[in-house]
Structure 1
Amino acid sequence: MASLANVFRCLVPARALAARRAGRVAGWLLFLSCAADTAPAAGGARQPTETVAASGELTPNCRRAYAEVLKLRLGPARELLRPDLAGTPAAPAPLLVANCVDFADLLLNQDAARYEAIASAQEARLAALDKAPASVLRDYARAEMTLHLGLSQLLFKHVVMGGYHLRSGYRQMQDVVKHYPAFLPARKTLGIYQFAVGSLPEGYHWLLSLLGLTASSGEGLKNLALAAAQPHDFQIESQIFFSLIRESYYKKPEEALRLAERLHAQQPDNLLFSYLLISINKRQHHGEAALAAYRARPTGPGYAPVPYLRHMAADLLLYKGDYDDSERENLAFLREYKGLHYRKDAAFKLYLAAWLGGAPAATVARYRAQINQPGPTDVEEDNYAQHYYHEAVALNPVLTRARLQTDGGYNQQALATLRGFHSTPTTLWRDRIEEPYRRARAFQGLGRLDSAWFYFERTQTVAGPKAPYYFAAQAALQQGYLAQEAGKKAQARFYFEKALHYPWHEYKNSTDAKATLALRELK
């Protein structure tokens, strides 16, 4: 389903913001899969809007195949679907799940050599649907598969056709919800897309106007919550998306973590659920728990390769100070991964592991030079790595270790590390700004919020209003969240607006998106 792509765009932190406007737009569309006019539905009259017949459900065999897809066992899923696709070539259920298999394959490895074959298969399945009798599942499958095609095209830089198909699929899904309001899978997908469109920063409103798209992130969450609360074939997907959005944008991590732990306990052989558990723990700075989940992940024949897991593990090991193991995991990631994203970030992390681990100078220099190899900077992590390379200013080893330690949740160790930082008149302005920010994040992780607030405030004082670094903007964002949690709405609004007003920095787009959504929630 199109939303399986969204699982991976949420779990893989691809906030995807390219340097050029078109690239930035494509990146946002890929992050949570947001959106030429909709083609009319083929194949006869619609069903009545009041009821959803059994044709809106997957067949038992397709349901088994779909369960294999969620486990990332793509080969077994294809085998299960083979008889259905041969015997009923126009049936919506097997076409839909088969499309999900190929789409997951494409997203996991981002292999350009597979793109043409998969895009052709997507188009062929859409054509086959035109021969299917009218049903809610046919219309839903057409909309989902159109979104698959658009996302696939955008992923491989076919921006015009990708944008067309995303807009078309979005409009089709709106039509499905209009005519079949009780069909919850359509509300799931529409809710995700509404949230994505509605949460685009103000700088992208020109695109929405150009495409004729309007959406409310709040309305999207309502649709998604409805789909998450009631049983249907795709309820688990709905629950995952709802919890991930609330975790990432509304600082509600507990429910996402509980869901991931429950799903993993119920299906320890499910690689996607392991991925989810690793990713959420990593984002919430639970480094040891994330590493434990990584080491316990299911492996073996039948599972699709997921190279990005190695890149996540390399980060977790870097946070812990296991530099040799971090290096091995990132080198394995670069060998196995077919895509272009995260390569600069992997080179940067290889550089950090070599530098902090005391590797020979030639090794450190080689990894640093690797950052500048040709490649996209669509994702913020790659953009940050490239910016570091071009800035050509040496990192401070004390602050770098402290940053990695707080990222992994090793906050007491980070504070101990920071005791080794001593500012002098020659200390870089960037480092003088970063030092209180690192203290603030460590105290925040320890729950010592008064101390965290003091150092967040100090970060902004040292930075002033125009520092071209992310520390002050992030400090203001965190103060907004702290004030919001304390019920101080006016104070929260002040700091969220302050976060928006800082000039360009490496994480401006994601910071602005979070601050904007937080301000909407305050209303």
Structure 2
Amino acid sequence: MHEIRQVVLETKATPEALSPGARRAYAELLKLKVGTCRQLLAAEPATAPGTLLVADCADFVALIISQDASQYEATMAAHDARLAVLEKTPANALRDYAQAEISLHQALSQIGFHHEVRGAWNLRRTAGLMQAVATRYPAFIPARKTLGLCQFGIGSLPEGYHWFLRLLGLRGSVEEGLRNLGLAATQPNDFQTESQILLALIRESYYKQGSESLALAYRLARDQPDNLLFNYLVVSLNKRQHHGDEALAAYRTRPTGPAYYPLGFVHHLAGDLLLYKGDYAASLAENEQFLREYRGDYYRKDAAFKLYLAAWLGGAPPATCERYRQQINLGGPLTIEEDIYAQRFYHDAQTLNATLTRARLQTDGGYYAQALSTLQQFRLTAATPARDQLEAPYRRARVWQGLGRLDSARADYLRTLRRSASLGEPAYYFAPQAALQLGYLAQAAGQRAAAKAYFERAVAYPKHEYKNSTDQKAKLALRQL
């Protein structure tokens, strides 16, 4: 507490901050009004550190949202040009912070656009720069945001990446990362809202604190109804928390117009939400729009898979279903787990069970009563494939958990583990996820030894569709214990 109090006292005396004009431009950027942000910056001193930083944020946001490879080289050149100007600028906290933040934008862009080695080395440089800023200017709170994000991101990577981190000389700390992010989120600074959002997303994704994160998103969206980013957070977090109707309601009332940077990915989210609800024609339309507008490589396989599901469950002709299935196999990286899952579905030529698939989608949307009714139609026979034998109890467990019937959920999760063992532990995600959920349930009940055993069991399963994210969540939960 003494350190935090000292940092707060020093913060009040720190003169380096964004100019009023740069602050207004940054506020417009948070609304995803990239053009408005750039117009406001045109009236600011072109070589001021704050101007360069916010301008770089605008370019980074445009590149990451659009995923447009044709913008990549120009954006990299703009990063370099701004860093060259800052190198000639007198040192102060904002100048040094801008250098490190722009380096981070560059590293993340390189990694995202398949220049992983260059990006990793740049990330190493960024982590060092930001640590130096935090050490040299302990009262400059924005540095805690980026340093904390780097520390958490590096510290939470699955074990399979540790050799690479050691090679780069990168060391992370989940606890230090959360502490620094917490400082930036709770103390007044130009980037406090951004820090609050980052911390909320981490807590929701890794620490099961979805209610708190949703409350923040709703508060932000209520305070700024014209903010597309805050609306997107409400849509995305409700979707992740299985609140399908609430997510759709936010999507349908999102701010629109030419002032906003095109957010093609939101149509993919809507496609999922409508698929959960069983509105297959509308789901098809949203994912088709996503594929038309989106310029990136990621999520294309996943979108094609969802198009296939909507067509198949909606009773489309077999030729139409097959056309969407073949679309999964078109070019694109196997980087994110959703695309990996879709590609595996294609290559394995899986025959999905319509009842279990419909129940899965209903559960994902939070329509638990409908999902339970659907699952009652499933019948296990001697001819039932191993995958369906595992999926059935797992799906029931997810429904029971959603309905708050935790004893029934535990019983079906345990049934999933036993059946997986009896089948020779096939490489599906049902048993690892069942172990992870049993760990969470035991942790919530204060059963630390049981929770530890289940989290370790979740990590121990070999390669499956969601191993990276499952391992990451289980390892973070073990640290909490």
TM-score grouping bracket, smaller chain normalisation: over 0.9
Report the equivalent of 2:350: 393
TM-score (norm. length: structure 1): 0.89
Task: Verify: 1:78 aligned to 2:78, yes or no.
Answer: no
What is the CA distance between 1:53 and its match in structure 2? 5.5
Q: Do the aligned partners of 1:466 and 1:503 also contact (CA within 8 Å) in 2?
A: no
Greater shift after overlay, 370-379 or 348-357? 370-379
Alignment of 1:40-439 (within 5 A): 55-84=15-44, 88-439=45-396
Q: Do the aligned partners of 1:51 and 1:180 also contact (CA within 8 Å) in 2?
A: no
Report the equivalent of 2:479: 520
Task: Verify: 1:473 aligned to 2:429, yes or no.
Answer: no
Q: Hey, what's the Cα distance between the residues in 2 that align with 1:408 and 1:435?
A: 18
Distance 1:515 1:131, change over 3 A: same
What is the CA distance between 1:51 and its match in structure 2? 6.6
Q: Do the aligned partners of 1:354 and 1:364 also contact (CA within 8 Å) in 2?
A: yes
Q: Do the aligned partners of 2:14 and 2:139 also contact (CA within 8 Å) in 1?
A: no
Report the equivalent of 1:32: none
Q: Hey, what's the Cα distance between the residues in 2 that align with 1:369 and 1:230?
A: 51
Q: Do the aligned partners of 1:453 and 1:479 also contact (CA within 8 Å) in 2?
A: yes
Deviation track 1:253-291 (CA, whole Å, cap 9, x = no partner) reads: 111011001001000100000010101000000000000
What letter matches 2:426 in structure 1?
Answer: A
Q: Hey, what's the Cα distance between the residues in 1 that align with 2:259 and 2:230?
A: 16
Q: Hey, what's the Cα distance between the residues in 2 that align with 1:350 and 1:51?
A: 52
Report the equivalent of 2:3: none
Deviation track 1:225-274 (CA, whole Å, cap 9, x = no partner) reads: 11111111111111111111111101111110110010010001000000
What is the CA distance between 1:159 and its match in structure 2? 2.2
Structure 2: gaps (5+ residues): 1-8
- SS of 2:334's equivalent? coil
Q: Do the aligned partners of 1:406 and 1:414 also contact (CA within 8 Å) in 2?
A: yes
Deviation track 1:326-357 (CA, whole Å, cap 9, x = no partner) reads: 00000000000000000000000000000000
- SS of 1:56's equivalent? coil
What is the CA distance between 1:208 and its match in structure 2? 1.2
- SS of 2:43's equivalent? helix
What letter matches 2:462 in structure 1?
Answer: P
Equivalenced residue count is 471
Q: Do the aligned partners of 1:477 and 1:511 also contact (CA within 8 Å) in 2?
A: yes
Q: Hey, what's the Cα distance between the residues in 2 that align with 1:365 and 1:80?
A: 50
What is the CA distance between 1:153 and its match in structure 2? 1.5
What is the CA distance between 1:429 and its match in structure 2? 0.6
What is the CA distance between 1:89 and its match in structure 2? 3.0
Q: Do the aligned partners of 1:195 and 1:215 also contact (CA within 8 Å) in 2?
A: yes
- SS of 2:347's equivalent? helix
Distance 1:51 1:64, change over 3 A: closer
Q: Do the aligned partners of 1:468 and 1:504 also contact (CA within 8 Å) in 2?
A: yes
What is the CA distance between 1:83 and its match in structure 2? 2.2
What letter matches 1:469 in structure 2?
Answer: Y
What letter matches 2:33 in structure 1?
Answer: R
What is the CA distance between 1:192 and its match in structure 2? 0.8
Greater shift after overlay, 341-350 or 129-138? 129-138
What is the CA distance between 1:435 and its match in structure 2? 0.1
Q: Hey, what's the Cα distance between the residues in 1 that align with 2:11 and 2:378?
A: 67
Q: Do the aligned partners of 1:285 and 1:406 also contact (CA within 8 Å) in 2?
A: yes
What letter matches 2:394 in structure 1?
Answer: Y
Task: Verify: 1:494 aligned to 2:453, yes or no.
Answer: yes
What letter matches 1:175 in structure 2?
Answer: A
Q: Hey, what's the Cα distance between the residues in 2 that align with 1:112 and 1:237?
A: 26
RMSD of Structure 2 on Structure 1 (CA): 1.2
Deviation track 1:343-382 (CA, whole Å, cap 9, x = no partner) reads: 0000000000000000011100100010011111111000
What letter matches 2:22 in structure 1?
Answer: C
Q: Do the aligned partners of 1:52 and 1:180 also contact (CA within 8 Å) in 2?
A: no
What letter matches 2:437 in structure 1?
Answer: Q
Q: Hey, what's the Cα distance between the residues in 1 that align with 2:118 and 2:173?
A: 25
Greater shift after overlay, 347-356 or 152-161? 152-161
What letter matches 2:199 in structure 1?
Answer: F
Deviation track 1:75-124 (CA, whole Å, cap 9, x = no partner) reads: 0100000122xxx3321000000000000000001101111111111110
Q: Do the aligned partners of 1:228 and 1:239 also contact (CA within 8 Å) in 2?
A: yes
| Percent pairwise identity | 62
Q: Hey, what's the Cα distance between the residues in 2 that align with 1:338 and 1:286?
A: 28
Q: Hey, what's the Cα distance between the residues in 1 that align with 2:178 and 2:11?
A: 24
What letter matches 1:496 in structure 2?
Answer: F
- SS of 1:121's equivalent? helix
What letter matches 2:216 in structure 1?
Answer: L
